[in-house]
Amino acid sequence: MSHPIRNIAIIAHVDHGKTTLVDQLLKQSGTFRENQEVAERVMDSGDIERERGITIAAKNTAVMWNGVKINIVDTPGHSDFGGEVERILKMVNGVILLVDAAEGPLPQTRFVLRKSLSLGYRPIVVINKIDRQDARAEDVLNEVFDLFVNLEANDDQLDFPILYAIGIKGIAKLNLEDEGTDLQPLFETIVSHVPEPERELAKPFKMLVSNVEWNDYVGRIAIGRVEQGEVLRNQQIVLLDRHGNVKQKAKVTKLFSYAGLDKIPVDKGQAGDVICLAGYEDTNIGDSLVDERDMVPVPYYDIDQPTISMFFRVNDSPFAGLEGKFVTSNQIRDRLVKELRTNVSLKVSPTESPDVYRVAGRGELQLAILIESMRREGYEFSVSRPEVIFKEEGGQLFEPIEEVIINVPEEYSSRVIDILLMRKGIMESMSQELENVRLAFKVPSRGLIGFRNDVLTETKGMALIHQQFYDYEPHRGEMPGRKNGSIVSMEKGQVTSYALEGLQDRGQFFVEIGVDVYAGQVVGINNRSDDLLVNVVKRKNLTNHRASQTADTVRINTPLKLSLEQCLEYIEDDELLEVTPKSLRVRKKYLDHNERKRQKSAANV
């Protein structure tokens, strides 16, 4: 019989120290050699994850502690990655709920915790960052208890073990007053509190595919927890879809188990352990790998449905193909299909045009991260404004509603309330937390497109915003659109200081002197509500007269640089965002001014 096993997931809000804690668990279990160079936050391996400080795709690791193998899964904290969370929780038998000692439990914590409790898991609560100056561990513990009660935890789940931690120093303790030197109390709690997975070795092999990876040498790798039985390398097993249809019969060409951050080749995988299998090119998340003696798939539940969609299209601007490596519709389609292999909460569908694909996801952030990944890989394309996906039931229109919690200094709270009320939000609660006010709202998803920008501008960047999908509710009526029109270039060429000097009182510009622009490109935000057509490439007529001294000292305002998310929030229905590895350009859908007028007249008929 192999080692005893514990399978746990760590759930926490973005930035509460989850990935740092996993680093320390790896270090203190002797997973790394004494002299081994280890990157900070080893589990966040993607560049975008490191930059944003969030976990997007779930990672697996395993540590050995006193003869017990502990498989640890790092789950995404953001609800846009709900598809990841759902299936990851199916692989484990217990969860660690990690909460910041100052911020307390936040919406994304609630989202994953609700799913864990409904699966019957009994969480271990770890209150982290107790060394913060503004830490309030006792209050946070009460908030956690209230949260469990709100989520209808049973008596067993309410009797949770509590540990206090300083994750970055690798310290956990059972009481706040204790000294604490290492993470031993946490290891001991995991082993004593988390049940060992059922290990029915005598039954035929069965495993649910919870994750899929790609490796250039061995092809697709199916990852999951073995539900029952055992599997040997070179054994023939069957791949079933979630309905029980046979997809493939093949041999297991490679078999891996986790040790630290590495996958190590093994000859056998047993019930209860998390393993990786190669040899099944058609495997997808939600499929089952089974022994021929028991051809019944492991039950799989559908994950959260998409609530936001966008159109990805071939870039047809005058600058098309100048900055990107992959620009054709086939290349874009292949990349989107590849994303579907591992991203289950995404849906891609063709449209009437071969150059346009509709991509639906769980939120603006999920789609923004896909766009950012593609541009870093060398793709060039354009995208439309994010749209909300409505549902119709019994002749009534329903729309997705999100739960929004904003922590904001008191002096800005009334402005934030006004913004959310304008966007059809309904206030659920308002409470004081030191100098800050905590506002809880239920807001239609379409009202949240562009709202983050507004709130951060109004609060001078002081607001902390958390949002997550709540439910579908009846449509809340018309929503006000963007207040300002766009400043649109009427000519192609290089932006001149002479042109900008004469125009800068008309609005705020995105472009700087010397940058190439084209006709129909949006070069700024108009002070007024309508679009303004301007010539930003206009040059000064040369004369024999010498200009006065003052003409040489023109001050041009600093251009406004929008991030990818800000661009997506800014664009209107008649605009697109051109995305290339080097640039983000907002443009009109129809570049020709007369064509725009014709389209507008046709729409108003």
Q: According to the annotation, is 80 in a ligand binding site?
A: no
Q: What integer pLDDT is reported at residue 200 of this predicted model?
A: 80
Q: Which of the four CATH numbers 3.30.70.240, 3.40.50.261, 3.90.700.10, 2.40.160.60 does domain 391-474 have? A: 3.30.70.240
Q: Long-range contact list for 88-91, CB < 8 A, 24+ apart? A: 88/9, 88/58, 88/210, 88/211, 89/9, 89/115, 89/116, 89/119, 89/121, 90/119, 90/208, 90/210, 90/225, 91/7, 91/9, 91/210, 91/224, 91/225, 91/274
238 by DSSP, 3-state: which? strand
- Answer for the pair 323, 581: CB distance below 8 angstroms, yes or no: yes
Is the pTM higher than 0.75? no
Has 146 been labeled as part of a binding site? no
The answer to whether 453 is a known ligand-binding residue is no
Check residue 133 and give its pLDDT: 80
What residue type is assigned to position 585 of the chain? R
**206-290 and 391-474: identical CATH topology:** no
128 is in an annotated binding site: yes
Task: Flag whether 351 is marked binding.
Answer: no
What was the pLDDT predicted at 350?
92
Instruction: Name the CATH architecture for the domain at 206-290.
Output: Beta Barrel (2.40)
Q: How far apart are CA 527 and CA 536, in angstroms?
A: 16
pLDDT along the chain (605 residues), means of 10: 78 66 75 41 44 46 82 60 62 85 73 80 87 82 86 85 82 79 85 83 84 74 85 85 80 81 80 83 81 82 74 94 92 89 80 93 81 92 92 89 85 89 89 78 85 78 76 85 87 91 89 92 92 90 60 73 85 92 94 89 77
Q: Is residue 13 a known part of a binding site?
A: no
Was 19 annotated as part of a binding site?
yes
* CATH number given to 486-577+592-604: 2.40.50.250
Domain at 5-193, CATH class: alpha beta
Residue-level pLDDT at 74: 65
- Is 582 annotated to bind a ligand? Reply is no
Looking at residue 58, its pLDDT comes to: 44
Domain residue limits, the chain: 5-193, 206-290, 391-474, 486-577+592-604
The per-residue pLDDT for 426 is 92
